[in-house]
Every structure is written in structure tokens, then in C-alpha cells.
Chain A
């Protein structure tokens, strides 16, 4: 398993995908923080908490995970990958862990950057901001969600072989289906894999309407574990049965 993890991490480091997605997540997150902290005059600590939690890395991490697995079929490298690691369950496990680690790395870079720059701007404008304890609390929650999304993306890429279909499906889920479900039936939507449960874990209140109850962080964590476990089992079953012709 250690060898496979090392191989997957070399794969991640030796194409431009990881760098490009990290740079894109960082650029968009910094832009949003710069605009919000410089243009918004009414400001509370809750606003700061929500701003630092919505670091925009989630979507990129999800895409990275999908591309990491579905890309094996797109580039037809799955054959050489399975020849090097014929125990497919272990291979999927190594990929899942590797992309969870990659998710943590991206989120760490972006979250620390936006927290540092956002806090400096808010302080310079004498607006309320978060103390170190709140920042650390926000950081570790972001990292846990990042690890979850990286792992979940790999499993979705293992389930849906066509990379484009997998990405479009996840975008629809994230931007249309789950938000609609949260709006129409939040008691169901709050359990969603890409918006509901992650936001429940982070404690992001903007997503849910006034008076709507989201999952507690502990329950949200269990739901995320459930989603990734379910997706992993389905992807593993598919990968084990699949003939590589």
C-alpha cells in the first residue's frame, strides 16, 4: 500500500493538473476575499467565518479526484496502472487516500492564504475579524471537508468511466440538484454529498434558509463518511468486475 501511495503521489506531482487546479482555486478564492473585504462595509464575525469557509477549493478538489480516476480511462493508462498494481481494491484505496491528501494540501494553501490576506484587510479597515482560535477551527474543518471531497471525487471517477459525464454530473449535483433540494426540501437536502453534509460540518449558515436546520458537525461527519464509504464500495465493485479490453 505504501508503494502504491507513493506512485499515486508521483502521478499527482508530475502533471500540470494539480498545479493548475490549485492555482485556479487560489486565484478565485483570493479574488472573492479581496472584493468582499474591501467593498463590504457592514461586517460581522459570522461574515468573516462564512467568507473563510467558502474558500472555493471544494469544487476544484472534487474535480481533481474525478480526473485522477476517470482520467485513467480517458488516457487509457488504466491498463499499465492495473498491471503494476493488479489488486484493484488496493489500487482504488491508494488512489482514494492520495487524493484525500491532495485535497488537504490544496485546501491548506488556499485557506491559509485567504485567512491571512482577509484578516490583514479587515484589521486595516478596523472591521471585526476572527481570533486565532476561530481561524484554527475554520482551518481544520476546511481540511476535513477537502479530504472528503478528494476521496469522494476518486470514487465517482471510479463509478463513472467517462470523465466528461462524471464532471458534468458533479457540477449539476453541486450547483443545481442539491441547492434545489435544500430549497425545496431541506430535511433531505441537508444530507447531500457535495453541499448539504460538507456545509453542515463547516457550519456554513448562508446555504440554508432562515430557520432551516442543518446537520450538526458530528452528524455531518458521519454522513460524509457514509457517502464516501458507499461510493468507494460501488466503485470497488465496478472496478473489480470490469474487463480491461
Chain B
């Protein structure tokens, strides 16, 4: 059973239909990137999943249960939303103490998660004195408080400096490595490409693409392979005889519709020397624009 399941989700705000029949799933042990242009419906979807907005139709569940039906929800799901806010007069530690009490987590976890996000030294300072990056780290600490099996992060790198972004990337991979499901929305496509296993792309409230990163980057034309050889013409003709389309550029061939596993044996059969063989993928940015029609 998928850890998170969105089924035919609709959400209407007055005359605006923010989410239109969205369905996707995420699995344990994987980082799933949730992508879409501004106003695509990402935040609304995440808020519906977390029980903060009421879906007009459809369901968004964790292991088949709505968020509010979970036993001690913050022990099962940790969330960082885009507008993470804190009482400015409360210290970072006290903010976490409140959440630990409400979620019935041991108070010792407060110092553990403060240490995890690197805020131990600032724990007793009022949040109004925190930088944006420190607030983001505090929000992440709050999400980790219950050591949850599912992490939902809406634009988690907002406000983080380059070392912070690198730390965040490590955290996502570490959490997935522990078998947890991580759903992360971001507009930083390059950042997502380096961190995720799966991708869900939405636009105008509708699903535009879903799959592993490789599947999504592969595009609709199927796989493509880039091959470098000292005998490009011989190999190109052999591939074309087998029905593949080949684009030539010096000693490099781009074979459309073939994976490296298909090209390699043909080259061996033709006794052509191969100097390089690799799948050719679109950039995530190109895939994103192609799927969302927002490239202009």
C-alpha cells in the first residue's frame, strides 16, 4: 500500500478550481519531488493532505487514513509548510516544547532536533531575532520532532544559504535511506533534480507527469542514447537498418528510441569500437516546461 495516496482530489475556492481531479501516490524509502509553476495547486494539495483545507471531492490519505484520523499524527507525519510562522516572542526551544507537549513527544526530543538542525546555540533566543534560514531550520526541527515516517516539505530550501541547501539535500536522502517517504515541493528544479527519486508534475491543478526521475526526463519519445565511436557512419547505418533514428554530430551519435542496453549489443555485433555510451536525458527544466506548457 502506498504511504500517501491522493485520489481524484478536487478543491474549489469560490469560482476558482485550484485542484482538478489530481491523483498520485508516494512510496516509502523514496524522495518524491512535487513540481509545478506558481498557482499550480501544489500548496493546496499538500494542505488538503494535512487536513488544513477541506477537499471539494476526492481523498488525500496516509495509509488509507485521513490526517486527523491518525493516532498521534505528528508522530507519523512531519510537515514544513511554505509560510512556517512562529510567535515572535517565544524562543525556538519553547516553540518546540509546545509542539512536543501537544504531540505527546518526550521533551528530550526538543534538544535532539535542535541539534539535528544546528540551532542548539540559538535555542533560547526569541524567534523574532532569527534569520529566515534559522526559521526554516526551526520549522524542519518541528517536523522531525515526532520522528515521523512521512515528511512533507513545501519549498524547504527557502531562506537557506548554500551550505543549508546542501544540508537539506543530505537530510532528504538520509530520511529516505531510513525507509521514510519524503514529499518535497520546490520551484528550484536543479535542486530537486539532485535530491529526488520520483517526480510528480502538476499544472493548473492537473497532473501533467509522474514517474521516476529517469522516466520523466526520458520524455514522451522514449529513451535516447548518446554514443561516441571512431566509426560513426558504420554504427549509424547498422542502427538505421534496425529502424532507429540516428542524429550525427562528428564522432557522436544520438540514437532516438533506443536505450544503451539496446545500442551496446548492436555495436558488438557490428564489431564497432565504443568510446562512450550513456542515456541521453532532457534536463528537468526542459521536461517541466514541456509538461506544464509554461516555457514561454
Contacts and interface: CB of A to CB of B under 8 A. Distances in A.
Contacts of A84: 73-74, 98-99, 102-103
B64 interface: no
Interface string B66-93: 0110000110000101011111111100
B212 interface: no
A11 B98 contact: yes
Given A3-B103, A10-B101, A15 B52 contact: no
Contact of A85 (B43, B87, B94, B102): B102
B14 to A, nearest CB: 11
A77 B103 contact: no
Contacts of A241: 54
Nearest to B94: A14
A80 interface: yes
How big is chain B's contact interface, by range? 20 to 34
Interface string A9-45: 0110011110000000000000000000000000000
Contacts of A87: 68
A76 B85 contact: yes
B102 A75 contact: no
Contacts of A210: none
Interface string A139-176: 00000000000000000000000000000000000000
Nearest to A2: B104
Contacts of A75: 85-88
Q: Which interface residue of A4, A16, A79, A82 has the most chain B CB atoms within 10 A?
A: A79
Contact of A245 (B53, B79, B85, B89): B53
Interface string A68-88: 000100011101111111110
Given A7-B98, A11-B98, A79-B81, 19 more contacts: A3-B104, A7-B102, A11-B90, A14-B90, A15-B87, A71-B87, A80-B142, A81-B102, A83-B50, A83-B74, A84-B73, A84-B74, A84-B102, A86-B68, A86-B73, A243-B54, A244-B47, A244-B53, A245-B53
Interface of A: 3-4, 6-7, 10-11, 14-17, 71, 75-77, 79-87, 241, 243-245
Interface of B: 13, 43-44, 47, 50-54, 67-68, 73-74, 79, 81, 83-91, 94, 97-99, 101-104, 142
